[in-house]
Amino acid sequence: MPNHHQRNGLLRRHFLGQTAGLALLGMSSARLDAQPPSAKAGGDSDLVIVNGKIHTMDPANRVVTQALIQNGRFTAVGNRLAVPRGNVRRVDVKGRTVIPGLIDAHNHIVLVGNRPGWHTPLEHVFTIPDAISVLQTRCAAVPAGEFVTTVGPLSAMQFSERRLPSLTELDAVNRPVYLQAAQGGTRTNSQGKTWLEARGVTVAADGTIAGPSIAAALLALRKELLTPQTRQRSALDALNYYARLGITTHRDCGAFHSDLPSGAIASENTFTMHNPFLALQREGRLPARLRFDFLHQDSPTANPPLPTLSQRLKYSFPFFGDEWIKTGGIGEFTGGGIDGLRAIARAGWRAEDHALNLAGVTNLVKDRETVNAEIPLSGLRWIISHVPEFPVDLANRMDAMGMGVLVGWGPLRSGSNLGPPYRMIMNHRIKKGYHSDGGDITVINPWLNFSTIVTGLNLAGQPILGDQKLTRQEVFWLATAANKWFLEEDDLGSIETGNHGDLVVLDRDCFTVSDEDLKRTRSLLTIVAGKVVHNDGVL
Ligand SMILES: [Zn+2]
């Protein structure tokens, strides 16, 4: 979730060289966007994965060759399984690397699913020609005159050109185009310029939209383009896009509330924004699991106190739903100050706040210690996320209260020794897990995040983590088995008998590919509850 301070930090751009190898790898960047999943959730038979290099992420860290899924769960995992006769589909993955379905334990997928226009994520492209190609391919599904949009996780830093596409380049896309990079820069093409100018939005001759015109543009797009149907389409598109990158479970951490359409990128109607996802669930079309937390922003001095939080705690349920969609706790803002924390603790709910600096995390820990002295927090699994600055003393104090930290949040930042101190956290006994925090200010693409944590480099190739890097095994563990604790679900995040049948067959061995290629990793086959939700040629 952005704030002003954080956005400014992300506005700075850098111009170091970086190669882009999609063409060299023989992969079309467009495929990630263009292909519909070959099978919708529902109706698949039981299946057995054979000839895999299956990293189970179980407590013994076993790597096996076979995994059997029946009725949505793993029923056998090993090397020479006795596969029952009958309707069991045999999937030979030909030695490919298999990992548990990835869990992003804190992002803003619900905001992404409510973007106006035909939102087209560009988190997997690294050159401007590739971006244009993805947008052109997207047009095939878009009626003439309708907007192709990319709003949010987009940055000049990701392109080898170190800039956003120009109006002339975007004119190669035969639809109105609107690109809004939360990290800085908003662009449109000639068709988009005409539409926006007719609504009073100032657009420079080169397609740049700047200053207050950005909010005016986004507001106009939201007011005119959003319907329940477009939201549902965008929600499905977003979930499918990330299924192709291996994410099988998203924990959404909310938005800033706005009753009416807003020009602010991280704002939505938090009482209705889940509807498109709930509709997909009712229709049995979800390609991933969702966990929703509720963000509250009551003022600590509100009168009557805690106007929204008190209602939430009284009239709704934490951890309510089914295996596809479940409610969670309060966050990523609890709001309401220390009385808000007291109310959440008394109600027995989970709470999460984010910290953007040392002063922030220090205050959050102090307040929790005050509440903990009155109402023990142990067992409630309260969370602080991001923690860019995080001394060991605070880790000790959080751990003593039974709290955990979520880390990630890196590929688009610039500066040195930005944290979080991954190595310290990894070696500490505190509960820890992986989150992207992506959707508005940063990317959800897990492979960009993993690459940064492993190499210490941002997307422009600049060192940002000092010596606080992790091994690949550690990073993949954080995004799978370690996140069980944050979901409060033991039967996700590892390939073990009895767990939900979620796995990803990767297009490369993420344990051994070069650092440069790690960020281009994608899924060839994504399976959730035994159902194929993405298939790129394996079946
Ligand atoms: Zn967030």
Q: How far apart are CA 527 and CA 539, in angstroms?
A: 12
Residue 97 host element (H or E): strand 97-100
Query: What is the whole-number distance in angstroms between the Cα of residue 438 and the centre of ligand 1?
Result: 7
Query: What is the whole-number distance in angstroms between the Cα of residue 328 and the centre of ligand 1?
Result: 15
Q: Is the peptide bond before 287 cis (omega within 30 degrees of 0)?
A: no
Length of the chain: 539
pLDDT in tens, 136-167: 999 999 999 999 999 998 999 999 999 999 99
Query: What is the whole-number distance in angstroms between the Cα of residue 253 and the centre of ligand 1?
Result: 6
Handedness of CA 284, 66, 514, 34 (dihedral sign): negative
Query: What is the whole-number distance in angstroms between the Cα of residue 142 and the centre of ligand 1?
Result: 30
Query: What is the whole-number distance in angstroms between the Cα of residue 110 and the centre of ligand 1?
Result: 11
Q: What is the pLDDT of residue 7?
A: 35
Q: Which residues of 426-446 are buried (b: 16+ CB within 10 A; e: fewer)?
A: bebebbbbbbbbbbbbbbbbb
Q: Which two tokens stand for residue 98?
A: 């298999």
Query: What is the whole-number distance in angstroms between the Cα of residue 436 and the centre of ligand 1?
Result: 8
Query: What is the whole-number distance in angstroms between the Cα of residue 332 and the centre of ligand 1?
Result: 6
Query: What is the whole-number distance in angstroms between the Cα of residue 106 and the centre of ligand 1?
Result: 6
Is the pLDDT at 21 greater than 60? The verdict is: no
Query: What is the whole-number distance in angstroms between the Cα of residue 108 and the centre of ligand 1?
Result: 6
Query: What is the whole-number distance in angstroms between the Cα of residue 38 and the centre of ligand 1?
Result: 31
Query: What is the whole-number distance in angstroms between the Cα of residue 278 and the centre of ligand 1?
Result: 21
Q: How far apart are CA 171 and CA 189, in angstroms?
A: 5
Task: Please check whether residue 72 is in contact with residue 501, taking contact to mean a CB–CB distance below 8 angstroms.
Answer: yes
Give the chain's count of helices (H) and strands (E).
18, 25
Query: What is the whole-number distance in angstroms between the Cα of residue 63 and the centre of ligand 1?
Result: 33
Q: What is the mean pLDDT of residues 422-444?
A: 97
Residue 248 host element (H or E): strand 247-252
Query: What is the whole-number distance in angstroms between the Cα of residue 242 and the centre of ligand 1?
Result: 17
Q: Which residues surround ligand 1, an ion (CB under 5 A)?
A: 1, 253, 332, 437
Query: What is the whole-number distance in angstroms between the Cα of residue 24 and the centre of ligand 1?
Result: 35
Query: What is the whole-number distance in angstroms between the Cα of residue 257 and the centre of ligand 1?
Result: 14
Q: What is the pLDDT of residue 183?
A: 79
Task: Mark residue 75 as left, alpha or beta (left: phi above 0; alpha: psi -120 to 50; beta: remaining).
Answer: alpha
Task: Mark residue 306 as left, alpha or beta (left: phi above 0; alpha: psi -120 to 50; beta: remaining).
Answer: left
Query: What is the whole-number distance in angstroms between the Cα of residue 92 and the centre of ligand 1?
Result: 38
Q: DSSP code of 379?
A: T
pLDDT in tens, 455-514: 999 999 999 999 999 999 999 999 999 999 999 999 999 999 999 999 999 999 999 999
Q: How far apart are CA 118 and CA 214, in angstroms?
A: 18
Query: What is the whole-number distance in angstroms between the Cα of residue 354 and the centre of ligand 1?
Result: 7
Is the pLDDT at 199 greater than 70? The verdict is: yes
Is the pLDDT at 539 greater than 90? The verdict is: no
Query: What is the whole-number distance in angstroms between the Cα of residue 437 and the centre of ligand 1?
Result: 4
Is the pLDDT at 28 greater than 70? The verdict is: no
CA of 24: how far to CAs of 21, 27, 28, in Å? 5, 8, 10
Which pLDDT band, with edges at 50, 70 and 90, does 417 fall under?
confident
Query: What is the whole-number distance in angstroms between the Cα of residue 50 and the centre of ligand 1?
Result: 38
pLDDT in tens, 445-456: 999 999 999 999
Name every residue whose Cβ is closer than 8 Å to that of residue 357 and which is 6 or more positions away in sequence. 388, 389
Query: What is the whole-number distance in angstroms between the Cα of residue 266 and the centre of ligand 1?
Result: 10
Q: What is the pLDDT of residue 37?
A: 40
Could you write out the DSSP letters of every residue in 105-140?
EEE-HHHHTT-SSEE---TT--SHHHHHHHHHHHHT
Task: Please check whether residue 71 is in contact with residue 45, taking contact to mean a CB–CB distance below 8 angstroms.
Answer: no
Query: What is the whole-number distance in angstroms between the Cα of residue 494 and the centre of ligand 1?
Result: 25
Question: Other CB atoms closer than 10 Å to residue 415's CB: what's the count?
Answer: 14
Query: What is the whole-number distance in angstroms between the Cα of residue 331 and the centre of ligand 1?
Result: 9
Query: What is the whole-number distance in angstroms between the Cα of residue 17 and the centre of ligand 1?
Result: 30
- CA distance between the termini of the chain: 38
| Prediction pTM value | 0.92
Query: What is the whole-number distance in angstroms between the Cα of residue 394 and the centre of ligand 1?
Result: 21
Q: What is the mean pLDDT of residues 254-263?
A: 96
Query: What is the whole-number distance in angstroms between the Cα of residue 435 and the centre of ligand 1?
Result: 9
Name every residue whose Cβ is closer than 8 Å to that of residue 436 and which is 6 or more positions away in sequence. 104, 106, 107, 408, 409, 442, 443, 444, 445, 446, 449
Q: How far apart are CA 99 and CA 521, in angstroms?
A: 12
* C-alpha closest to that of 22 among 160, 120, 121, 156: 160
Q: Where are the alpha helices (DSSP H) in 181-324?
A: 190-197, 212-225, 228-243, 275-282, 309-315
E strands, 417-500, are: 431-435
Q: Where are the alpha helices (DSSP H) in 114-211?
A: 128-139, 167-170, 190-197
pLDDT in tens, 290-299: 999 999 999 9
Query: What is the whole-number distance in angstroms between the Cα of residue 335 and the centre of ligand 1?
Result: 14
Query: What is the whole-number distance in angstroms between the Cα of residue 450 and the centre of ligand 1?
Result: 17
pLDDT in tens, 42-61: 345 799 999 999 999 999 99
Task: Please check whether residue 306 is in contact with residue 267, taking contact to mean a CB–CB distance below 8 angstroms.
Answer: no
Q: How far apart are CA 287 and CA 430, in angstroms?
A: 32
Query: What is the whole-number distance in angstroms between the Cα of residue 385 and the centre of ligand 1?
Result: 8
Query: What is the whole-number distance in angstroms between the Cα of residue 333 and the centre of ligand 1?
Result: 9
Is the pLDDT at 1 greater than 90? The verdict is: no
* C-alpha closest to that of 485 among 357, 322, 296, 328: 328
Query: What is the whole-number distance in angstroms between the Cα of residue 515 and the centre of ligand 1?
Result: 27
Identify which has the larger pLDDT, 11 or 89: 89
pLDDT in tens, 361-413: 999 999 999 999 999 999 999 999 999 999 999 999 999 999 999 999 889 99
Identify which has the larger pLDDT, 395 or 417: 395
- Phi, psi values for residue 217, rounded to 5°: -65, -50
Query: What is the whole-number distance in angstroms between the Cα of residue 107 and the centre of ligand 1?
Result: 6
* C-alpha closest to that of 156 among 133, 128, 136, 177: 128
